[in-house]
Structure 1
């Protein structure tokens, strides 16, 4: 069968987390770099569709192509390792320590950022003919996104920060569900269909994805967005990373681990309990 039941795919999640914890620095960074670059291209693709058609739903429907490609190629996003790698530590896999979990997260963050930034520079050059003319329509839209999703949050103070954090939580709830969905199927069509659905939800709803933002906001700065690097870090990237961590680990990783890998004792029917008591008496 091409579908794995929950206890089976949760076991594979733990195995995947263990493998990532022990992966060499070189391989971890390369895979993270490529994941960040491919997701950034998908984000540029979706924004281009939105700018040219004015239909956000079409962009959201097609954005998951990048996510599917990078996971089928075995590359890693920060949002995914937030969910998978801690499970190997919680499961007490030999040699997996909190330090190895944090090492993996740090390396993947660096690799994702480098890949997304590479594509940000390339696309900014395309949108401006190598910075020789003002940005085109797509470039202007990316600049406006950066302003709305940094300064726009800051205008609401604490409420804006809380909104940003919750959008980060909801984002990785969906994205990590997509990561798990890829594991629960053993066929390529099954993996793609299962991944596509939650990624569509996250992108259309405008939730905050730390790696997508590693492309959008550096691009926005290069294309004349009305915000600063400090705005980007304080009013987007840092709260988004924290929200993504909570969303993926708590609502996906720990929830599945608790009920399918560490299943609670089943309750006996009342009649059976009474019969057992009678027999003992």
Structure 2
């Protein structure tokens, strides 16, 4: 079969989470640096397509190229680990503690930022000929994105902060489904399609992704955007990270775990159960919702 049913999928998700949390510091940093870099070069590509063609939908359709590539290569994003790590902890996998999960998140956040910031510097150099000219049209667009999604939220006060948080939640609902989509399929075309669909949706709808923003906002500052580092942290990055965590866990990870994963005590099949009953139960649990 080229498709994992939900009852088979959840143990795969938990296994992946446990493996990620237990990775060495070196491997965690390397994989997250490359993950942040590849995702954000895809974001730069999508912005370039949107600006040069005047077609935002086309940019959104092509944005998942970076996301698909990084997951096919086994690299990591913080937004995916917001789902994988806690499920491994809930399932009481050996060595998976709250401290281990938080350590993993901290390392991946750092690695993703290094990768994204590096791409931000590279893109700023490209669109300004090494900072020797004014930004081209793509550079100007990136600067304005940073303004609208920091100062623009601040202008609305608490309502702006609520909007930012909810956009962060909705973003990682979609992105984490893309991460899990890579595990649903067993062949490359299936994995690519399963990842592409929800990621395209989040990008076109303007939801807030903490790793993409690690590229957009530093590059916006380098290109003359009219906002500050504090604007970026308070009115985007910090609320977006929290929204990404809540959305990925609450809307993707926990529903899958509790309806298909089942805690260990409930997964155990009684020894005295008739074979026909056990088989019937397996068929019921394995059917897609």
Q: What residue is the counterpart of 1:208 in the other structure?
A: 208
Q: What residue is the counterpart of 1:10 in the other structure?
A: 10
> Deviation at 1:182?
0.7
> Deviation at 1:262?
1.2
Q: What residue is the counterpart of 2:70 in the other structure?
A: 70
Q: What residue is the counterpart of 2:287 in the other structure?
A: none
CA distance in 2 between partners of 1:196 and 1:170 (Å): 16
CA distance in 2 between partners of 1:21 and 1:35 (Å): 16
Q: For structure 1, list consecutive stretches of 5 or more residues without a partner in the other structure.
A: 266-281
CA distance in 2 between partners of 1:69 and 1:157 (Å): 38
Q: Are 1:41 and 2:45 an aligned pair?
A: no
Q: What residue is the counterpart of 2:98 in the other structure?
A: 98
Q: Are 1:144 and 2:144 an aligned pair?
A: yes
Q: Are 1:189 and 2:189 an aligned pair?
A: yes
> Deviation at 1:7?
1.1
> Deviation at 1:94?
1.3
SS in 1 for 2:29: helix
> Deviation at 1:19?
0.3
CA distance in 2 between partners of 1:76 and 1:103 (Å): 14
CA distance in 2 between partners of 1:116 and 1:205 (Å): 21
Q: TM-score, length-normalised on structure 2?
A: 0.91
Q: What residue is the counterpart of 2:54 in the other structure?
A: 54
Which structure 2 residues correspond to residues 81-160 of structure 1 after superposition, within 5 A?
81-160=81-160
CA distance in 2 between partners of 1:6 and 1:242 (Å): 27
Q: Are 1:169 and 2:174 an aligned pair?
A: no
Q: What residue is the counterpart of 2:248 in the other structure?
A: 248
Q: What CA deviation, in whole Å up to 9, does each residue of 1:4-49 have, x standing for no partner? A: 1001111000000000111000000000000000011001000001
Q: What residue is the counterpart of 1:19 in the other structure?
A: 19
CA distance in 2 between partners of 1:240 and 1:95 (Å): 29
Over aligned residues, Cα RMSD in angstroms? 1.0
Q: For structure 2, list consecutive stretches of 5 or more residues without a partner in the other structure.
A: 268-289
Q: Are 1:30 and 2:30 an aligned pair?
A: yes
CA distance in 2 between partners of 1:253 and 1:204 (Å): 23
CA distance in 2 between partners of 1:24 and 1:6 (Å): 30
> Deviation at 1:213?
0.1
Moved over 2 A (4+): none
Q: What CA deviation, in whole Å up to 9, does each residue of 1:31-81 have, x standing for no partner? A: 000000001100100000111011100000000011000000000001000
> When the two structures are aligned, how many residues end up with a matched partner?
265
SS in 1 for 2:131: coil
> Deviation at 1:121?
0.3
Q: What CA deviation, in whole Å up to 9, does each residue of 1:139-158 have, x standing for no partner? A: 00000000000000000000
CA distance in 2 between partners of 1:179 and 1:72 (Å): 10
CA distance in 1 between partners of 2:50 and 2:180 (Å): 28
CA distance in 2 between partners of 1:20 and 1:211 (Å): 18
Q: What residue is the counterpart of 2:262 in the other structure?
A: 262
